Structure 1
C-alpha cells in the first residue's frame, strides 16, 4: 500500500478535492439557489410536500445537491489535459490497489500454516471459526473482483471520464426528487458554464450525449 501511495499519490488528489470544494462551495450553492436554476421548481414542490411535517427546507435541499458534487467540482475546475491525467492516474491506482488486496487474500487463504495445528491429527477438525474466516474472505474477494471489473470496463479515460464517475451521486439525488431529464441536462449545462469547464464549442453535442448516458445509467 505504501508503494502504491508513493507511486500514485492519491492523498494529494483527495486533499486537492477537499480544498477545491471549500473554495467553490459558495459559488455552487449560489447557482443552485437562483430562480433560473431548474432546481428552483423542485425546491418548491418538495417544500409543499413537507408542508405538514418537519421536512428539510429549500436551503437544505440546495446544500444536499451541492454536496453530491463534492468530487465533481474538482474535475470541473481542471484543464482537459490535467483532468485526463488525474483520471488515468486514479483509475490505475484503483486497479493496482484491488490487485494488491486480492493478492493478500489469496496468500492468506492458501497459506497452509493455518492448518498446521490440525493437519497431523486426522480426528481433529478445523475449528468452525477458521472456516468462517475463509468464507468471509471469499465474499470479500468476490466483491473486489466486481469492483475491479467495473474499473477495467470504464471506457478509456478521457477528459470527461472523471466527471462521468464523480457525478453519480448527483444524478441519483436529482432522480430522487423527481427532476425531469430535460431539467437535469439544463442544470448540468448551467453548472458546466458557471465553472467554465474546459471543452471545445464543437464538443457540446458530445457532452449532451455523455450526460444523457449518465441520466440513463443513474
Structure 2
C-alpha cells in the first residue's frame, strides 16, 4: 500500500512493511438432510388410528370414535416403532408406506405409556419388502443439526423440517406425567402428525 506524502506517493520507509493479508475464516457448511427416496423414506410409515377415548368418570359410557394420523419407522424384526399416544386406545390401525396407496392393518405389540413409545406389527408379509430398518443412534450433542420426519397436519406426503438440538434435559413426559425421562428439545418445526416419526 502506498503512503501519501506532501509531494505525492512515497514507498514505505525503512523498517516498514505492508500488513499481511488476512486469511479467510472457513465457514462450516451445514449437512443437507437426506433427499426424497433416500433411506429415511424407505423406513418411514404413515399410521392412521381409529380410537375411543375412555371416560374414566363414567366408564359405562361408550365414547365417540376418533381418527388420528401419526408416523412411525421400521426397526429390526419387521416391527414399527411409534409414539404411544399415536396408538393409545386404538380400535383399528392401518399403516401406509410412502408411494403405496394400500392400507395395511396393524396391531399394537408393545406399549410403554411412561416413555411414550410403542411397537406395532403388520401381518402382511409383503409390507416390509424393500423397507430399510433404522438403527437407534446415540444422544446428539447440543447445537447439533437434526431433521424431523413425519406427516404433519395429516398430509399424504412425507415432510422434513430441520433445526438444532437446543436443550437436553430430564422431564416428565406429557403423555403419562409419571416418570422423568430423557427429553431432547429441538428447534425444528413439529406439528400434529409428526408424532412417532424419527429425528
TM-score range, shorter chain: under 0.3
Structure 1 or 2: more strand by fraction: 2
- TM-score where L is the length of structure 1: 0.21
Structure number with greater Rg is 2
Q: Which has the higher contact order (CA 8 A, sep 6+)?
A: 1
